[in-house]
Amino acid sequence: MEKLPIVSLRGVTKRFGDVVAVNALDIDIFQGEFLTLLGPSGCGKTTVLRLIAGFENLDEGEICMAGSRMNSIPPNKRNVNTVFQSYALFPHMTIFDNIAFGLRMKKYDKNNIDREVMEALDIVKLAGLEKRMPYQLSGGQQQRVAMARAIVNKPQVLLLDEPLSALDYRLRQEMEIELKRIHRQLGITFVFVTHDQEEAISMSDRIAVMNVGKIEQVGTPIEIYEEPQNMFVARFVGEINVFEGKVLRIDNGSAIVSIHGQSFEVQNRKNISEGQDVRVLLRPEDIIVFRDEAESITDPALAGRIENVIYKGKTVDLIITIDAGETIFVTQFFNEDQEDVVFREGQRVHINWPFGWEVVM
Amino acid sequence: MVKKSRFRSTAIGLTLLWITVFVIVPYLFVALFSFLEHDISRIIRWTFTFENYQAIFSPIFLEVCKNSFILAFGTTVITLLVGYPFAYILTRIDEKIRRILLLLMIIPFWTSSLIRTYALIILFKANGIINTFLLYMGWIDQPLNILYTETSVFIGLVYTLLPFMILPLYSSIQKLDWTLIEVAQDLGAPSRHVFLHVVLPLTLPGIAAGSIMVFLPALGLFYIPDLLGGARSMLIGNFIKNQFLTTGNWPLGSAASMILTALMGLFLYGYFLSSRKAHTSMEGVR
């Protein structure tokens, strides 16, 4: 994929009264990518979307699309379309008229409109429903109409404002796959806004994690999940366990960190130095649990006790209290070869992790 | 529970009694009279006849009807054109200013509309406030002839009925989902098309309600044309009033009332149908 920024935001700031919703934000969005703005509610992600769409005027900075400055261009003259969280279908128009609205505004002739609308209905798999009224459709179908109404205009960028949040779990999963398919099929740039990190991770090419009007980190889902650059990203994206430690010494590419008196070898990717206080971050699924009754362990490990066992079907979640203090969250996958491995509440265990699976900051 | 339901039946019963005694029974009399013969000395004669209804379709009455409809229609159009932008602005402005504007609109209701109509006379008459002011400023040489013209009747009707247009419009526009306007803009619609294809169709129930609330009273408000239009403009309302109070032809007045009521019923039924349709299409759309 040729890396051309199709939308670029430079120092974009938006205030609502005294509240700074978006604060000097920079980001490039590239041709054809699926970019997700991920963050808690109120972090300004929807405002960024509305700024790109043109519904809000920015206070500072600059928005460029395909090289031209868009700051004062009204929404009806921008080559972007939005799928709204509430779908917002026109209640007084048939499905056909809803989808045809944009094309009619562009003064397409009737034959072209018919063809394009039918094609869009095909893409969202709603062929045959064009004569219905919006109130006759289910929530999932209305969602698809909202998609069709936007993509029929072949925008440079499609903006999606939490489009799946109103759907139930099963429908949401189905639509995630549909959205990815439509994205691949059309090759349009998607900018997707969500507070759901699983949604973000499973769909995006890149994720921009936002917090209080700023971008904390931009990267692929793997980078965001495996190598969070700060505590906010680490905590917001998935569960994370944090251990406080002190660097004892540096060995080539690795460092020896003391946690509760035990010396652990960790990868030194961030140029940490001797004597520094560090935090060692571990995902629940990266932790290995040894049951004291079954296995003896010689490597450095932290002793603890299982507080809670939560059976999840394909995994089992353990809440373990480390003797020295922390309560940690561990996910274990069932192993077909070791069916006799049973975790019980109150069991004594030791935990550690494979070298290099940790994040140190 | 028993006490509560007794309270409820008392409240409803009193209202029902009130409506029966003061609305339904008199109305049945009107309906009855419209089928009886006119008698100069005893007002009515107990003979069944369709004569009154035939008399109504005389050229004179049809002329009166035509005038009334033109005036009522004109009033409706003017109040709509003035009221719509005002109601629209009301929904968009700051809460504080909105409350003040709504209050200003409602305050005149605290005064009898008859008194307010007399107040208009003071404004309009040859040596009234407007003419005195304009003469004093030297903008005109002789007093404008406003009072006892069709114009003053229009002004009076518009002034009296404007709130009845604004309030239903306001409630209808306020219910409008603002996202739909953004969607239309997003899909490339310039303001004119946003209004024409989205705002207007979705506020149609408000327009219909407001128009009925203005049109129907405008047909029947006899004292405004009487006071502001002089004897020149005879409207349905005046016609009915005259039959009862001046010529004493109660049966003819009753027949005219029945026709007016039937018309109103027709309008209300039309509104009911259209609002029910609009309501169904709103349902289930989030």
pLDDT in tens, B13-64: 999 999 999 999 999 999 999 999 888 777 788 888 888 888 888 888 888 8
Shared domain check, A178 and A47: yes
- Cα–Cα distance for residue pair B124/B131, rounded to 1 Å: 7
A88 and B177 within 8 Å at the Cβ level: the answer is yes
Q: How many domains does chain B contain in total?
A: 1
User: Taking CB atoms and an 8 Å cutoff, what residues of chain A touch B192?
Assistant: none
Other Cβ atoms closer than 10 A to A12 = 25
Say yes or no: A115 and A72 in one domain. no
Q: Report, in angstroms and rounded to the nearest whole number, the Rg of chain A calculated over CA atoms.
A: 25
Residue identified by tokens 């289910």 is A138
pLDDT at B286 over 50: no
List A322's β-bridge partners, or say none.
Answer: A304
Measure A139 CA to nearest chain B CA, in Å. Answer: 8
Distance (Å, whole) CA A169 – CA A164: 9
Do residues A278 and A163 share a domain?
no
Same domain, residue pair A44 and A127: no
Percentage of chain A exceeding pLDDT 90: 65
Residue B132 domain flag? yes
CB atoms within 10 A of CB B144: 15
Indicate if A187 and A267 belong to the same structural domain.
no
Of A80, A82, A134, the CB nearest to B285: A134
Q: How far is A38 from chain B (nearest CA, A)?
A: 22
Interchain contact B278–A (C-beta under 8 A): yes
Classify A198 as helix, strand or coil.
Answer: helix
**CA B248 to CA B43: how far, in whole Å?**
7
**Which strand (E) or helix (H) includes residue A115?**
helix A110-123
Q: Which pLDDT belongs to residue B284?
A: 43
Task: Please give the pLDDT value at position A54.
Answer: 94
A97's enclosing H/E stretch is: helix A95-105
pLDDT on residue A291: 87
A211: helix, coil or strand?
strand
B14: number of Cβ within 10 Å: 10
Q: Is residue A199 part of a domain?
A: yes
pTM of whole model > 0.90?
no
C-beta atoms surrounding A72 within 10 Å = 8
Residue B4 has what pLDDT?
67
Backbone angles phi, psi at A120, to 5 degrees: -65, -40
Chain B contact for A149 (CB, 8 A cutoff): yes
Query: Are residues A161 and A224 located together in one domain of the fold?
Result: yes
Half-sphere exposure of B186 (CA within 13 A, CB side): 35
My answer on whether A316 and A348 are in the same domain is: yes
| pLDDT of res. A339 | 61
User: Same domain, yes or no, for A193 and A277?
Assistant: no
A280 in any annotated domain? yes
Q: How many whole angstroms separate alpha carbon B247 and alpha carbon B225?
A: 19
The SS3 assignment for A323 reads: coil
- Return the closest-CA partner of residue B278 out of B226, B224, B201: B201
Query: What is the 3-class SS of chain B, one letter each residue?
Result: CHHHHHHHHHHHHHHHHHHHHHHHHHHHHHHHHCCEEEECCCEEEEEECCHHHHHHCCHHHHHHHHHHHHHHHHHHHHHHHHHHHHHHHHHHCCHHHHHHHHHHHHHHHHCCHHHHHHHHHHHHCCCCHHHHHHHHHCCCCCCCCCCCCHHHHHHHHHHHHHHHHHHHHHHHHHCCCHHHHHHHHHCCCCHHHHHHHHHHHHCHHHHHHHHHHHHHHHHHCCHHHHHHHCCCCCCHHHHHHHHHHCCCCHHHHHHHHHHHHHHHHHHHHHHHHHHHHHHHHHCCCC
> Is B118 contained in some domain?
yes
Provide the ipTM. Answer: 0.82
- Residue B263 tokens read as 């018309």
Contact B182 A84 (CB under 8 A): yes
**Pick among A92, A133, A143, A151 to test the B interface (most B CBs inside 10 A):** A92
Q: Which of A302, A310, A308, A311 is nearest to A282 (CA)?
A: A302
Q: Identify residue A101 by its one-letter amino acid code.
A: F
Contact across the interface for A84 and B283, Cβ inside 8 Å: no
Q: Which of A181, A204, A236 is the last residue of a domain?
A: A236
In a domain, residue A254? The reply is yes
- Tell me what pLDDT residue B6 has: 86
Instruction: State how many domains chain A has.
Output: 3
Q: Is B13 on the interface with A (CB under 8 A)?
A: no
Residue B248 resides in a domain = yes
Which chain A residues are within 8 Å of B286, Cβ to Cβ? 86-87, 139, 142, 166
Contact between chains at A75 and B197 (C-beta distance less than 8 A): no
Neighbours of A360 (CB within 10 A): 19
The reply to whether B153 falls in a domain is yes
Domain boundary among A236, A256, A286: A236
User: Could you list the residue range(s) of the whole structural domain that residue B250 is in?
Assistant: 53-285
**Residue B2: predicted pLDDT:** 56
The answer to whether position B43 is within a domain reads: no
Q: Which amino acid is at B277?
A: K
A87 in any annotated domain: no
Helix (H, G, I), strand (E, B), or coil: what is residue A91?
Answer: coil
In angstroms, what separates the C-alpha of A271 from chain B's closest C-alpha?
48
DSSP A136: G
Contact B171/A at CB under 8 A: no
Same domain, A69 and A171: yes
Looking at the fold, whether A9 and A70 belong to one and the same domain comes out as yes
Instruction: Give Cβ neighbours of residue A283 (< 8 Å, ≥ 6 apart).
Output: A225, A238, A239, A240, A241, A357
The confidence score (pLDDT) of residue A336 equals 62
Picking from B187, B281, B285, the nearest residue to A153 by CB comes out as: B187
A59 and A110 assigned to the same domain: no
* Contact flag B186-A82 (C-beta cutoff 8 Å): yes
Residue A170: per-residue pLDDT: 87
- Residues of B in Cβ contact (< 8 Å) with A148: none
How high is the pLDDT of residue A126? 92
Q: Check which CATH number belongs to the domain holding B244 and give it.
A: 1.10.3720.10
A327 within a domain of the structure (yes/no): yes
For the stretch A308-358, pLDDT in tens is 999 888 888 999 999 988 899 999 887 666 666 688 898 899 998 998 889
- Is B233's pLDDT higher than 70? no
pLDDT in tens, B129-175: 888 888 888 888 888 887 888 888 889 999 999 999 999 999 999 99
* CATH classification at residue A326: 2.40.50.140
Task: Identify whether the C-beta of residue A236 lies closer than 8 Å to the C-beta of residue A226.
Answer: no
More confident residue, A65 or B276: A65
- B45 occurs within a structural domain: no
Task: Look up the domain containing A67 and give its range.
Answer: 5-79+155-236
A75 closest CB neighbour out of B186, B201, B285: B186
By Cβ distance, the residue of B179, B190, B283 closest to A76 is B190
Tokens of B24: 């339904």
Q: Is A141 domain-assigned?
A: yes
Pair (A207, A263) in one structural domain: no
Taking the C-alpha atoms of residue B272 and residue B208, their distance in angstroms, rounded to an integer, is: 10
Residue B4 lies inside a defined structural domain of this protein: no
- Give the pLDDT of residue B260: 87
Residue B182 domain-assigned?
A: yes
The segments of chain A whose pLDDT lies below 70 read: 1-3, 335-341
Residue-level pLDDT at A262: 87
B chain contacts of residue A77, beta-carbon cutoff 8 Å: 188
